[in-house]
C-alpha cells in the first residue's frame, strides 16, 4: 500500500514541488520515497513495503528500456500468474513485486491489461516516447485516484491535500458538492468539494495526451440471476470462492491481522483467514455501543490473540479535526472515527489487516433491502399506492404517514442509498447560499438506468455498489487506515466473488422469513450467512444470525450533554457557518434534539462535520 502524486507541464523548481506534494502524503508510505521528473511530467511516490520489502520494490519503477515509468498504490493478487504469462512473451523482471507486472502488462496488452487484474489499485504509467499518461482505478474503488486540470497543468494523485502544494492549484469551495452532501452525508458528485478537482470513478481509466483527457469505463457489475443451482449449491460456491479470495488477500511478506466486530462479515473473514491477531474497539460498557466482549470471546474460540481499545468521548471528539484532514472531503459517517481508532490499534502490531467491507452491497445485507414487497400493502395496485402517497405528503406530520409516502413512490424516487439526511427542500431552506446542485435523483438516475429491467432489491444493491460503497464505506476505509500507515484489505470486494454473487437469485440474497428452512431472525444476506455458518467453528456459528452493530457510536447521547452540545453550538454560530447556513435553523435542530423532541443526531453531525472540515482546509485550523 502506498501513495503517489504527480503533475504535467512545467513549473519552477519541479523537484521541490513534487517533494512538497509527496510530503503531504507521507503517512501513506513511510518506508521509502522516490520521484521522476522530466520536462513534461513529475511523478512522486511514498512506499509502505508489503510485497518484496527490499529496496528493489521502491518506486517509481521503470521498464527494462527505461521508457515506461510507473507509480502504483494497491495490491495485485494474481500478479504471479500474470508474471508467468509475460515471461513467456519475453519480458524480463528485475523485482519480485506485484507492481512490475503493471509495466510489462501495459506494454503487452495496453488498456486490456485491466481485464486481467485481480486486486485493489490505482496507478499511472508515463510513456516517455509517446508522451502519454495512462491512469486507472480498481473495479470497486477501493483505492482512490483524484485529478484536476489547472490551466495547462494536470494534477493527479492519491489524496487531494497534495494538490494544495502545487503553485498552479486554485483552492475554491464547490458549493454544489456541499448541497448534495447535506442529503447523502458524503461527497456524492464526481467533482469533489474542491472546485475543478474530480475523483476518477471506480472501474475507469484515463489517457492524457497533448493536453486532452479521455476517460473510459472498463468493467461493471452485471446482475444476471441463475435459477438453476439450489440454495445449498450457492452456499458451497460462496464458501469456495470466498476462501480463495481470503487466501489471495493474505499474500504478503509481512504479518496480516483482521478486524473483528460482532457481525457476520468480519467474523467470517477472521475465521477463514486464520490470522494470529484480531482487533476491536468500542465505547464504554453499554452493549449497544461496545462489541469488545463478544469479539474477545469469538477470538478465544478460534484461538487468536485479541487486542481491544475502549474509546473515551474525549478521545473521540479530540480526533475530529485530524480525521477530517485525512478524509480530504467531509464525511459525516460517525463510524469513521471508530475505524480511525481501530486502525491505530492494529498499526501498533502490524502493517496489513483484513476487513469485512463490501459484503452487504455484494450479497444484499442491508435491512433496507428487505423493504420492497415486504408487506401486503406493496401488493396493492401501483396507481392506488401513488395516489395515497401523494395525499399523505400534504398532511401534517403524523406517525405512519411516512410509510404511505414511501410506499407511494417507485424505488428510483425514494432510495438514494443508506443515508438520507436532508431532503432537497430541507437543504434549500437550511442553506443561505444558492447553488446549481442537481437533485439527488439526477445523480442516481444513470445508475438506475443501467438496471432498469431488474427487481427493486437488485436496483438498490447496484446503486449502493456504485455510490454509497465508494463514496462512504471505501473512502473511510482507505483514508483511516492510511492515516496510520496501515494496509486494509477487503476480501469480499474481489472480482471473482462478485462474478459469483451477481448470479445469485434475489430470493437467496434477501429472503422472507417464512420461506427459510429454519427458525432464523435474519432475512438479508441469506446465502452468504449460511456459508459463514458452515465455515465458522460450531461454537461461534451463532454469529451468522447476530445483528451487526458496525462500530456503533453514541453521538445521539453525547449531543444532549452540556460539554458536547456547546462544542457543536459554537460551530453552528461561527462565522464559517454564517457564510453558508441560516444559523438559527441549525441551532433549532440542536435544541430540539437536546430537548428530546426529535432525534436529529445524524443531521446535526452532517453539518457539524462539514464545518470541522471547512475549518481545517479553508480556515487553516490546526489538526
The confidence score (pLDDT) of residue 545 equals 47
CA 292/CA 270 separation, integer angstroms: 15
Output DSSP code: residue 27: G
416-467 pLDDT, tens digit per residue, is 999 999 999 999 999 999 999 999 999 999 999 999 999 999 999 999 999 9
Which residue of the set 1, 2, 136, 477 is catalytic? 2
**What pTM was computed for the model?**
0.94
Task: State the pLDDT at residue 105.
Answer: 97
**What pLDDT score does 378 carry?**
81
| Closest alpha carbon to 280 in 339, 329, 194, 217 | 339
Q: What are phi and psi of 117, to 5 degrees?
A: -80, 145
How far apart (Å, rounded) are the C-alpha atoms in residues 246 and 232?
21
Residues 6+ positions from 298 with CB-CB distance below 8 Å: 260, 262, 267, 270, 278, 540, 543
Highest mean pLDDT among 37-51, 390-404, 419-433: 419-433
Q: Look up residue 516 and give its three cell numbers.
A: 427459510
Looking only at the bridges linking them, the beta strands covering 305-310 and 277-282 are: parallel
pLDDT tops 70 at residue 178: yes
Looking at 47-51, 184-188, 483-487, which range is the least confident one?
47-51
Dump pLDDT digits (tens) for 257-304: 999 987 889 999 999 998 999 999 988 765 555 677 778 888 888 888
Task: Please tell me the distance from the alpha carbon of residue 68 to that of residue 86, in angstroms, as a whole number.
Answer: 16
Q: How sure is the predictor about 607, in pLDDT bands with cuts at 50, 70 and 90? A: very high
Cell of 26: 507521507
Tell me the sheet residues that pair with 72. Answer: 123
Question: In angstroms, how far is the first alpha carbon of the chain from the final one?
Answer: 24
Cell of 397: 406530520
Cα angle 594, 595, 599; round to 5: 65
Residues 6+ apart with CB under 8 A from 245: 491, 492, 494, 496, 497
Contact between residue 572 and residue 586 where contact means Cβ atoms under 8 Å apart: yes
Q: Is the pLDDT of residue 352 over 60?
A: yes
Q: Which residue has the higher pLDDT, 285 or 89?
A: 89
Which pLDDT band holds residue 522 (cuts at 50, 70, 90)?
low
Is 343 catalytic? The answer is no
Q: Given a cut of 70, is residue 544 above it in pLDDT?
A: no
Helix (H) or strand (E) holding 318: helix 313-318
Q: Is 259 left (phi over 0), alpha (psi -120 to 50) or beta?
A: beta
- State the pLDDT at residue 406: 82
Domain ranges for the chain, please list them: 2-217
2-217 — its CATH code? 3.60.20.10
Would you say the C-alpha torsion 333, 335, 341, 344 has a positive or negative sign?
negative
Question: Is it true that the peptide bond before 60 is cis, omega within 30 degrees of 0?
Answer: yes
What is the pLDDT averaged over residues 61-70?
95
Q: Is 204 helix (H, G, I), strand (E, B) or coil?
A: strand
Cα(210)–Cα(212) distance, integer angstroms? 6
d(CA 335, CA 358): 15
User: Residue 195: which pLDDT band, with cuts at 50, 70 and 90?
Assistant: very high
Q: Calculate the average pLDDT of the chain.
A: 91
Rounded Cα distance between 258 and 151, Å, is 45
Q: Does residue 251 carry a pLDDT above 90?
A: no
Q: How far is CA 120 from CA 137, 408, 446, 465, in A?
A: 8, 40, 25, 15
Cβ atoms of residues 29 and 1 within 8 Å: yes
Least confident range of 359-363, 488-492, 536-540, 548-552: 548-552
For 594, the grid coordinates are: 437536546
pLDDT at 54 > cutoff 80: no
Q: Which residues of 581-593 are buried (b: 16+ CB within 10 A; e: fewer)?
A: bebebbbebbeeb
Query: 143 by DSSP, 3-state: which?
Result: coil
Regarding predicted confidence, which is higher, 48 or 366?
366
Task: Give the span between the Cα atoms of 306 and 531, in whole angstroms.
Answer: 24
Integer Cα distance of 424 and 334 in angstroms: 22
CA distance 466 to 186: 13
Amino acid at each position: 500500500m502506498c501513495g503517489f502524486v504527480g503533475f504535467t507541464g512545467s513549473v519552477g523548481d519541479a523537484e521541490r514541488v513534487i517533494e512538497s506534494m509527496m510530503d503531504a502524503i507521507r503517512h501513506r508510505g513511510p518506508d521509502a520515497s522516490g520521484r521522476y521528473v522530466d520536462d513534461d511530467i513529475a511523478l512522486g511516490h511514498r512506499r509502505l513495503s508489503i510485497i518484496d520489502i527490499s529496496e528493489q520494490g521502491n518506486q517509481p519503477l521503470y521498464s527494462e528500456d527505461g521508457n515506461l515509468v510507473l507509480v502504483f498504490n494497491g495490491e495485485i493478487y494474481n500478479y504471479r500468474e500474470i508474471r508467468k504469462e509475460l515471461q513467456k512473451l519475453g519480458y524480463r523482471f528485475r523485482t519480485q513485486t506485484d507492481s512490475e507486472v503493471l509495466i510489462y502488462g501495459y506494454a503487452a496488452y495496453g488498456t486490456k491489461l485491466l481485464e486481467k487484474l485481480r486486486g485493489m489499485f490505482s496507478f499511472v504509467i508515463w510513456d516517455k516516447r509517446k508522451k502519454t499518461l495512462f491512469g486507472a482505478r480498481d473495479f470497486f474503488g477501493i483505492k482512490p485516484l483524484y485529478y484536476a486540470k489547472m490551466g495547462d497543468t494536470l494534477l493527479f494523485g492519491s489524496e487531494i491535500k497534495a494538490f494544495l502544494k502545487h503553485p498552479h492549484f486554485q483552492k475554491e469551495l464547490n458549493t454544489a458538492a456541499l448541497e448534495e452532501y447535506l442529503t447523502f452525508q458524503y461527497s456524492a458528485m464526481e467533482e469533489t468539494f474542491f472546485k475543478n478537482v474530480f475523483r476518477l470513478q471506480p472501474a475507469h481509466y484515463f489517457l492524457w495526451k497533448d493536453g486532452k483527457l479521455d476517460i473510459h469505463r472498463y468493467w461493471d457489475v452485471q446482475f444476471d440471476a441463475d435459477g438453476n443451482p439450489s440454495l445449498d449449491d450457492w452456499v458451497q460456491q460462496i464458501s469456495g470462492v470466498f476462501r480463495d479470495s481470503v487466501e489471495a488477500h493474505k499474500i504478503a511478506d509481512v504479518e496480516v491481522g483482521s478486524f473483528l466486530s460482532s457481525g457476520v462479515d468480519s467474523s467470517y473473514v477472521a475465521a477463514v483467514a486464520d490470522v494470529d491477531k484480531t482487533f476491536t474497539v468500542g465505547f464504554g460498557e453499554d452493549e449497544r455501543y461496545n462489541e469488545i466482549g463478544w469479539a474477545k470471546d469469538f477470538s478465544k474460540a478460534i484461538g487468536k490473540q485479541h487486542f481491544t481499545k475502549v474509546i473515551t468521548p474525549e478521545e473521540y471528539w479530540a480526533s475530529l479535526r485530524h480525521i477530517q484532514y485525512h478524509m480530504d472531503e467531509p464525511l459525516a459517517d460517525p463510524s469513521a472515527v471508530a475505524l480511525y481508532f481501530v486502525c491505530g490499534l492494529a498499526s501498533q502490531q502490524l502493517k496489513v489487516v483484513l476487513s469485512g467491507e463490501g459484503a452487504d452491497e455484494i450479497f444484499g445485507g442491508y435491512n433496507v433491502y428487505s423493504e420492497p414487497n415486504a408487506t401486503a400493502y406493496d401488493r396493492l395496485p401501483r396507481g392506488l399506492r401513488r395516489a395515497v402517497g401523494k395525499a399523505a405528503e400534504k398532511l401534517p406530520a403524523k406517525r405512519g404517514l411516512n410509510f404511505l409516502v414511501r410506499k407511494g413512490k417507485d424505488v428510483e424516487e425514494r432510495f438514494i442509498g443508506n443515508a438520507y439526511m436532508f431532503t432537497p427542500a430541507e437543504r434549500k431552506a437550511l442553506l443561505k447560499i444558492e447553488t446549481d446542485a442537481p437533485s439527488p435523483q439526477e445523480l442516481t438516475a444513470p445508475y438506475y438506468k443501467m438496471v432498469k429491467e431488474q427487481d427493486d432489491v437488485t436496483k438498490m444493491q447496484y446503486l449502493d455498489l456504485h455510490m454509497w460503497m465508494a463514496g462512504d464505506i471505501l473512502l473511510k476505509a482507505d483514508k483511516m487506515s492510511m492515516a496510520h500507515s496501515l494496509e486494509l484489505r477487503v476480501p469480499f470486494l474481489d472480482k471473482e466473488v462478485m462474478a459469483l454473487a451477481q448470479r445469485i437469485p434475489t430470493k437467496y440474497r434477501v429472503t422472507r422469513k417464512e420461506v427459510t428452512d429454519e427458525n432464523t431472525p435474519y432475512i438479508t444476506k441469506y446465502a452468504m450467512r449460511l456459508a459463514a455458518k458452515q465455515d465458522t467453528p460450531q461454537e461461534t456459528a451463532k454469529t451468522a444470525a447476530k445483528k451487526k452493530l458496525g462500530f456503533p457510536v453514541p453521538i445521539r447521547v453525547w449531543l444532549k450533554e452540556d460539554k458536547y452540545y456547546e462544542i457543536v453550538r459554537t460551530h453552528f454560530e461561527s462565522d464559517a457557518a454564517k457564510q453558508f447556513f441560516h444559523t438559527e435553523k441549525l441551532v433549532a435542530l440542536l435544541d430540539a434534539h437536546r430537548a428530546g423532541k426529535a432525534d436529529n443526531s445524524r443531521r446535526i453531525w452532517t453539518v457539524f462535520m462539514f464545518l470541522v472540515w471547512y475549518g481545517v482546509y479553508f480556515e487553516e485550523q490546526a489538526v
